[in-house]
Chains A and B, each alone.
Chain A
Amino acid sequence: MSIFIDENTRLVVQGITGRDGSFHARQMMEYGTNVVAGVTPGKGGQTFEGPDGRTVPIFNAMDEAVASTGANTSVIYVPPAFAAGAVMEAADAGIDFVVAITEGVPVLDMARAHAFARDRGTRVLGPNCPGLISPGKAKVGILPGQIVAPGPVGLVSRSGTLTYEAVYHLTTAGIGQTTCVGIGGDPLIGTKFIDCLAAFKDDPDTKAIVMIGEIGGTDEQEAAEYVKENLDLPVVGFIAGQTAPPGRRMGHAGAIISGSAGTAAEKMEAFEANGIQVAKRPVEIAELIRAALQG
Chain B
Amino acid sequence: MDLHEYQAKEIFRGAGIPVPPGKVATTPEEAEAFAREFGGMVVVKAQVHSGGRGKAGGVKLAKTPEEAREHAARILGMDIKGLTVHKVLITPAEDIDTEAYVGVLVDRNSQAPMFMVSAEGGVDIEEVAHTNPDAIRKLTVDPRYGLLPHQAYWLANALYDDPGLIRQAQKVMGQLYNAFVNAGASMAEINPLITTPGGQVKAIDAKVSIDDNELFRRPEIEAYRDTSGEPEAETEARDADLTFIKLDGDVGCCVNGAGLAMATMDLVKYYGGEPANFLDIGGSSSPEKVVNALKIITADPAVKVILFNIFGGITRTDDVANGIVEATRNIDIDVPIVIRLTGTNEELALEILKNAGFEAYTSMDEVVSKAVELANRA
Q: From A80, A161, A217, A245, give the contact of B257 (CB < 8 A).
A: A161
Interface centre among A161, A243, A251, A253 (most CB of B within 10 A): A161
B270 at the interface (CB under 8 A from A): yes
| A160 engages B259 (CB within 8 Å) | yes
Contact code string B184-200 (vs A, CB < 8 Å = 1, else 0): 10100000000000000
Closest Cβ neighbor of A283 among chain B residues: B365
Q: Kindly identify, within residues 248 to 302 of chain B, every residue whose CB is under 8 Å from any CB belonging to chain A.
A: 255-263, 265-270, 275, 278, 280, 283
Contact code string A232-275 (vs B, CB < 8 Å = 1, else 0): 00000010111111001111111100010000100000000000
Closest Cβ neighbor of A188 among chain B residues: B111
User: In the complex, what's the smallest C-beta–C-beta distance from A125 to chain B, in angstroms?
Assistant: 14
Given contacts A168-B343, A215-B262, A282-B263, contact A248 B245 (CB under 8 A): yes
Interface residues on A, range: 35 or more
Q: Kindly identify, within residues 351 to 378 of chain B, every residue whose CB is under 8 Å from any CB belonging to chain A.
A: 363-365
A142 at the interface (CB under 8 A from B): yes
Task: Please give, as numbers and ranges, the residues of chain B lying within 8 Å of A173 by CB-CB distance.
Answer: none
Complex CA gap A243/B278 in Å reads: 10
Given contacts A105-B213, A142-B314, A241-B266, contact A251 B344 (CB under 8 A): no
User: In the complex, what's the smallest C-beta–C-beta distance from A236 to chain B, in angstroms?
Assistant: 15
Task: Please give, as numbers and ranges, the residues of chain B lying within 8 Å of A219 by CB-CB distance.
Answer: 108
Task: Please give, as numbers and ranges, the residues of chain A lying within 8 Å of B259 by CB-CB distance.
Answer: 157-163, 185, 212, 214, 240, 251-252, 255
Complex CA gap A165/B258 in Å reads: 13
| A159 engages B343 (CB within 8 Å) | no
| A243 engages B275 (CB within 8 Å) | yes
Closest Cβ neighbor of B342 among chain A residues: A168
Task: Please give, as numbers and ranges, the residues of chain A lying within 8 Å of B258 by CB-CB distance.
Answer: 159-160, 185, 250-252, 255
| A283 engages B364 (CB within 8 Å) | yes
Task: Please give, as numbers and ranges, the residues of chain B lying within 8 Å of A146 by CB-CB distance.
Answer: 344
Q: From B126, B216, B245, give the contact of A80 (CB < 8 A).
A: B216
User: In the complex, what's the smallest C-beta–C-beta distance from A217 to chain B, in angstroms?
Assistant: 5
Task: Please give, as numbers and ranges, the residues of chain A lying within 8 Å of B128 by CB-CB distance.
Answer: none
- The binding surface of chain B is classed by DSSP as mixed
User: In the complex, what's the smallest C-beta–C-beta distance from A216 to chain B, in angstroms?
Assistant: 8
Task: Please give, as numbers and ranges, the residues of chain B lying within 8 Å of A254 by CB-CB distance.
Answer: 108
Interface residues on B, range: 35 or more
A107 at the interface (CB under 8 A from B): yes
Q: Kindly identify, within residues 14 to 53 of chain B, every residue whose CB is under 8 Å from any CB belonging to chain A.
A: none
Complex CA gap A249/B258 in Å reads: 10
| B365 engages A250 (CB within 8 Å) | no
- List 13 A–B pairs whose Cβ atoms lie within 8 Å, in order of A's numbering: A106-B214, A107-B106, A111-B112, A114-B111, A158-B259, A159-B258, A160-B259, A160-B283, A162-B263, A240-B259, A245-B245, A251-B259, A281-B270
Residues of A within 8 A of B (CB): 27, 80-81, 104-108, 110-112, 114-116, 142-144, 146-147, 157-165, 168, 185, 187-188, 212, 214-215, 217-219, 238, 240-245, 248-255, 259, 264, 280-283
Question: What 3 A-B pairs have minimum CB-CB distances, sorted nearest first?
Answer: A159-B259, A251-B258, A161-B257
Residues of B within 8 A of A (CB): 106, 108-109, 111-113, 126, 142-144, 181, 184, 186, 211-214, 216-217, 243, 245, 247, 255-263, 265-270, 275, 278, 280, 283, 311, 313-314, 342-344, 363-365
Q: Knowing that A105-B213, A115-B112, A244-B265 are A-B contacts, what are 13 other residue pairs whose CB atoms are under 8 Å apart, sorted by A's residue number? A: A27-B314, A106-B211, A114-B111, A115-B111, A115-B144, A144-B343, A157-B259, A162-B259, A185-B258, A215-B262, A245-B247, A251-B257, A253-B212
